Amino acid sequence: MRQIDLSTDGWPDYELLDSGDNKKLERFGPFVLIRPETQAIWKPLHPELWKTAKAEFRFDGGKGSWRSMNKGGAEMWDITWHSDARFTLRLTSFKHTGVFPEQAPNWEWIGERVSALAKRGGSPKILNLFGYTGIASIVAAKHGAMVTHLDASKQSNTWAKENATLSKVPPDTLRYITDDALKFVQREIRRGSVYDGIILDPPAFGRGPDGEVWRIEEDIVPLLDAVRKIFAQKPGSFFLLNGYAAGYAPQSLVQAMEGSFGEIKNGEFGELRVNEKGSGRVMPSGIYVRFVK
């Protein structure tokens, strides 16, 4: 395993403009937003830019909400990542917008891995667990995969379907499942299903559609043990595990993965980062482990 920290500089529809005072200033398409960021313990460099924000997410009395700062602008708008994905952003009640920009290097990697598998013949089968708004699923489908996209939230799956339509993904290449991740995988084991690529992006805490409780510290190892049984043991098959807001070091994910999959040789792990425009500073935004058979 090689330790490699992955960074994105942004792209035409996204930039990290500035950060500091436990906040970050980002441009999503035509709009600038301010969001909380506990990693940003430094001072902002460009106070004047913060006045251009459309809205800021603030916590008040333990609850969070968006507060408009400048008039005008939609509550929903679309942006594009390269030619692969077009998706709608929304100002959600959890400070998120529907996209995690630090994942851009992983989207590129997913596209490359799926394309390599497709060249060997057929359409690779990909499973995206905790798929959220579906950008990774869209990238995989547009590079030739048949994708199973699973999320416990009907609302997220509806959003993912809308994004796939915007991205002009053929409907027969993507199926959507609203279910608890572990329960679904256990059924796939009994059915004898096998996937050429598996993507996991679990939250630190969450709930399934029937109230099942997900706690990463308790549930990640049973899930890894289960998905190993439906992971194709052939050259080119790939596995990606992301960690967000769980407080773990990348090595923790590595050791959890190796406990289930055995020693991983052709793999990488590290931090996911967003480079701040023009400053040389980086925003640590998550961790990952990935490998190819």
Tokens of 86: 């077009």
The mean pLDDT of 253-267, rounded to a whole number, is 94
The mean pLDDT of 11-24, rounded to a whole number, is 98
Q: Taking all residues of the chain, what is their mean pLDDT, rounded to a whole number?
A: 95
pLDDT for residue 72? 66
The mean pLDDT of 160-184, rounded to a whole number, is 97
The mean pLDDT of 142-168, rounded to a whole number, is 97
Bigger pLDDT: 52 vs 204: 52
The mean pLDDT of 134-141, rounded to a whole number, is 98
Using the predicted structure, report yes or no on whether residue 247 has a pLDDT greater than 90. Answer: no
Query: CA torsion 198→203→207→209, rounded to 10°?
Result: -40
pLDDT for residue 246? 63
Q: What are phi and psi of 249, to 5 degrees?
A: -80, 155
Using the predicted structure, report yes or no on whether residue 158 has a pLDDT greater than 90. Answer: yes
The mean pLDDT of 269-289, rounded to a whole number, is 97
Q: Are strands 85-90 and 174-178 parallel, antiparallel or unpaired?
A: unpaired
pLDDT digit string, tens, across residues 211-228: 899 899 999 999 999 999
Using the predicted structure, report yes or no on whether residue 282 has a pLDDT greater than 80. Answer: yes
CATH class entry, domain 100-292: alpha beta
Confidence band for 245, pLDDT divided at 50, 70 and 90? low
All CATH 2.60.40.1180 domain ranges in the chain, comma separated: 10-83
Provide, rounded to the nearest whole percent, the portion of the chain with pLDDT above 70. Answer: 98
pLDDT digit string, tens, across residues 33-76: 999 999 999 999 999 999 999 999 998 877 899 999 877 667 89
pLDDT for residue 204? 87
pLDDT for residue 73? 66
pLDDT for residue 16? 98
For 10-83, CATH number out of 3.30.465.10, 2.60.40.1180, 3.40.50.10420, 3.40.50.620 equals 2.60.40.1180
Q: For the whole model, what pTM was predicted?
A: 0.95
